[in-house]
């Protein structure tokens, strides 16, 4: 009550504001105009758009003052660092709020994973709002490290930093009215929480089913037509541009002056090195502008639209009553991020976060710090039997897309066993169960990596996060897999003879490092450099592509620990 009175008094000019910003050109995302004005801030909120007495004055020197950005859908774990290190990377890019779905770590450690992410996000300058994972595992037949039912999510539902229910991707469960799925949705609807969708490749009729359940967003849109279909049904379209799914150029074609308020921006999954060099939502805003979107519209999509979509009533605009989260820039098109403020205090300048506190060392539970268990895994477990001189299913990659294509092709074989062939670009793909040391492994054939020798492997494998490996020789594939067990998770590159060429340890759930982001980037660079030694030259990140080849809810064909899965037919295939 007292703080409210102080803000009112300061707004009325009866008490000093904390900060007065002068000489700024302010982006008005309500009226779509740039206005020269002074701004007063008290207790982290804008209180006046006229000059007021203040304890401190900031001369903006004629720079543009725009709302800071909101990443409307992100898996922090995909950056491969903890929330604290993630904040150090994205805050300097003008992102002060993220809507995070911790379903990566939840697939490894269940409720303990959610708890870890909430605790690690509590004292950050970055405002992290969590969505509760709705599909752990992603599909009922998946073998993740945990299963989260409605009763497991309920204790988190009223946490102050929990915002809603994360992407509902198990559409068969939704369509058949699965009781647990309905309880999760009802839990969110009864609290008026937003619910995110995952409508990859679904028909307009299925979109109607999702909308009828109260689901209001989708980040799996890949074309302008799909975007318009969703907007027509009252959904928000999350335009996605991440490390592998780069849908913005196609989807942004659907944005017009009539419907722009239903579009928001997200990165979904983006690796640390790309976040650091390329940017986060600021990069997407620049791409929108280059695609012909008016700068204020692009900024609005990254701020006010996202805030309104998720009910963040005090975020997304520069006006009295809104949190003072803003960016100073000197060019609305090139959009260099000069200074970033969070609740009226400077959070980043010159590309570096301003640290105000020392965080406690990370203490991860054993379920997180010791999560890679494959037991005894002999090399002969990688054998794939194939019929002689017959066509067999092959996974065809589509560069920078999550979807794949199913091909039927003849392959090289010796004594009834598949032999990788670099001339045909037929490599061996393995999905190895790593949560319970069951010995299960799905083996398949993939086309598109174009390695000339060696193998790569990682414990990032959406969404159940088993070990995924691909290569030209069993010895190299096996060596990379065994090294990941020794590291307790991460990435590895092996040469043809099995010698490990480079590695990146990810000891927290096999997904995140406990090291500073600078050290992680350094190791990532070594890993990427080593790819040249196995002949990799393609224009996409092979680890990111590999990590999505196990996700059986995105068409067309994927590999799980139980074998090759046809997503469209929703059934396993045999060779």
Tens digit of each residue's pLDDT (9 = 90 or more) over 136-181: 998 778 889 999 999 999 999 999 999 999 999 988 899 999 999 9
CB atoms inside a 10 Å sphere around CB 257: 9
User: Does 134 lie in the same domain as 163?
Assistant: yes
Check whether 285 has a pLDDT greater than 60: yes
- Mean model confidence pLDDT for the chain: 95
CB atoms inside a 10 Å sphere around CB 357: 9
- What are the two backbone dihedrals, phi and then psi, of residue 97, each rounded to the nearest 5 degrees? -140, 135
Domain span at residue 20 reads 1-62
For every residue of 480-496, DSSP letters joined together read: HHHHHHHHTSEEEEE-T
Check whether 25 has a pLDDT greater than 60: yes
User: Does 50 lie in the same domain as 78?
Assistant: no
Check whether 358 has a pLDDT greater than 60: no
Largest CA distance in the chain: 89
- Return all residues near 88 (Cβ < 8 A) that are at least 6 apart: 353, 355, 517
**In this predicted structure, what is the pLDDT of residue 357?**
58
User: Does 74 lie in the same domain as 49?
Assistant: no
**Is 330 contained in some domain?**
no
Query: What's 117's DSSP letter?
Result: H
Q: Residue range 469-485: average pLDDT? A: 98
- Return all residues near 258 (Cβ < 8 A) that are at least 6 apart: none
CB 263 within 8 A of CB 236: yes
Position 194 confidence tier, pLDDT thresholds 50, 70, 90: very high
Position 5 confidence tier, pLDDT thresholds 50, 70, 90: confident
- What are the two backbone dihedrals, phi and then psi, of residue 477, each rounded to the nearest 5 degrees? -60, -45
- What are the two backbone dihedrals, phi and then psi, of residue 167, each rounded to the nearest 5 degrees? -45, 120
User: Does 382 lie in the same domain as 302?
Assistant: no
User: Does 259 lie in the same domain as 400?
Assistant: no
Among 29, 62, 95, the domain-final residue is: 62
**Is 287 contained in some domain?**
yes
Vertex 369, ends 363 and 374: CA angle to 5°? 175
Check whether 200 has a pLDDT greater than 90: no
The number of domains in the chain is 3
Q: Residue range 458-472: average pLDDT? A: 96
**Is 358 contained in some domain?**
no
CATH number for the domain that contains residue 13: 2.30.40.10
459's tokens:
């414990």
Check whether 399 has a pLDDT greater than 90: no
d(CA 503, CA 391): 36
Position 12 confidence tier, pLDDT thresholds 50, 70, 90: confident
User: Does 78 lie in the same domain as 25?
Assistant: no
What sign has the CA pseudo-torsion 292, 295, 296, 302?
Answer: positive
**In this predicted structure, what is the pLDDT of residue 360?**
63
- What are the two backbone dihedrals, phi and then psi, of residue 338, each rounded to the nearest 5 degrees? -80, -50
**In this predicted structure, what is the pLDDT of residue 388?**
83
User: Does 168 lie in the same domain as 21?
Assistant: no
d(CA 559, CA 447): 13
- The residue written with tokens 């990165």 in the block is 267
Position 361 confidence tier, pLDDT thresholds 50, 70, 90: low
- Return all residues near 158 (Cβ < 8 A) that are at least 6 apart: 191
**In this predicted structure, what is the pLDDT of residue 394?**
98
User: Does 311 lie in the same domain as 384?
Assistant: no
340's tokens:
């970033």
Among 250, 282, 315, the domain-final residue is: 315
| Helix segments in 122-191, DSSP class H | 150-153, 171-175, 179-190
**In this predicted structure, what is the pLDDT of residue 242?**
92
User: Does 150 lie in the same domain as 106?
Assistant: yes
**Is 324 contained in some domain?**
no
């Amino acid at each position: 009550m007292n703080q409210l009175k102080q803000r009112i008094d300061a707004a009325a000019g009866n008490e000093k504001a904390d900060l007065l910003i002068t000489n700024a050109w302010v982006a008005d995302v309500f009226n779509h105009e740039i206005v020269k004005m002074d701004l007063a801030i008290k207790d982290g909120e804008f209180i006046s758009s006229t000059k007021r007495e203040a304890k401190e004055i900031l001369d903006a020197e004629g720079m543009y003052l725009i709302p800071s950005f909101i990443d409307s859908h992100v898996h922090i774990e995909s950056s491969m660092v903890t929330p604290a290190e993630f904040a150090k990377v994205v805050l300097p890019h003008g992102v002060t709020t993220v809507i995070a779905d911790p379903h990566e770590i939840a697939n490894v450690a269940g409720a303990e994973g959610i708890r870890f992410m909430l605790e690690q996000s509590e004292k950050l300058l970055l405002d992290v709002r969590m969505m509760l994972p709705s599909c752990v595992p992603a599909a009922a037949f998946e073998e993740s490290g945990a299963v989260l039912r409605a009763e497991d999510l309920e204790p988190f539902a009223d946490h102050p930093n929990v915002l809603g229910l994360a992407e509902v991707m198990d559409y068969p469960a939704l369509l058949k009215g699965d009781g647990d799925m309905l309880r999760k949705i009802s839990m969110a609807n009864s609290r008026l929480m937003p619910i995110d969708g995952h409508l990859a490749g679904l028909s307009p009729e299925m979109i109607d089913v999702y909308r009828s359940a109260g689901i209001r967003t989708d980040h799996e849109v890949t074309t302008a037509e799909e975007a318009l279909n969703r907007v027509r049904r009252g959904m928000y379209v999350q335009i996605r541009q991440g490390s592998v799914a780069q849908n913005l150029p196609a989807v942004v074609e659907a944005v017009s002056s009539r419907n722009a308020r239903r579009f928001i921006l997200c990165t979904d999954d983006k690796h640390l090195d790309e976040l650091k060099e390329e940017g986060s939502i600021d990069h997407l805003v620049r791409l929108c502008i280059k695609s012909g979107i008016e700068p204020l519209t692009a900024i609005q999509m990254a701020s006010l639209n996202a805030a309104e979509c998720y009910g963040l009533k005090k975020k997304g605009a520069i006006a009295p009553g809104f949190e003072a989260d803003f960016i100073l820039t000197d060019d609305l098109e090139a959009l260099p991020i000069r200074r970033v403020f969070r609740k009226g205090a400077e959070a980043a300048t010159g590309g570096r976060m301003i640290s105000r506190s020392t965080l406690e060392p990370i203490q991860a539970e054993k379920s997180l710090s010791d999560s890679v268990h494959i037991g005894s895994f002999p090399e002969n477990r990688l054998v794939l039997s194939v019929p002689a001189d017959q066509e067999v299913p092959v996974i065809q990659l589509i560069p920078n897309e999550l979807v794949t294509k199913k091909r039927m092709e003849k392959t090289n074989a010796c004594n009834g066993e598949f032999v990788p062939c670099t001339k045909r670009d037929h490599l061996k793909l393995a999905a190895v169960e790593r949560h319970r040391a069951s010995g299960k492994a799905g083996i398949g054939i993939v086309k598109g990596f174009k390695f000339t020798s060696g193998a790569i492997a990682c414990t990032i494998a959406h969404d159940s996060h088993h070990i995924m490996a691909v290569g030209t020789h069993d010895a190299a594939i096996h060596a990379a897999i065994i090294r990941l067990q020794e590291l307790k998770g991460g990435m590895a590159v092996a040469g043809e003879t099995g010698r490990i060429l480079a590695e990146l340890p990810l000891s927290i759930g096999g997904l995140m490092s406990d090291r500073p982001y600078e050290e992680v980037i350094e190791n990532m660079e070594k890993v990427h450099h080593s790819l040249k030694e196995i002949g990799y030259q393609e224009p996409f990140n092979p680890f990111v592509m590999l990590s999505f080849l196990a996700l059986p809810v995105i068409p067309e064909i994927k590999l799980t620990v139980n074998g090759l899965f046809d997503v469209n037919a929703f059934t396993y295939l045999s060779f």
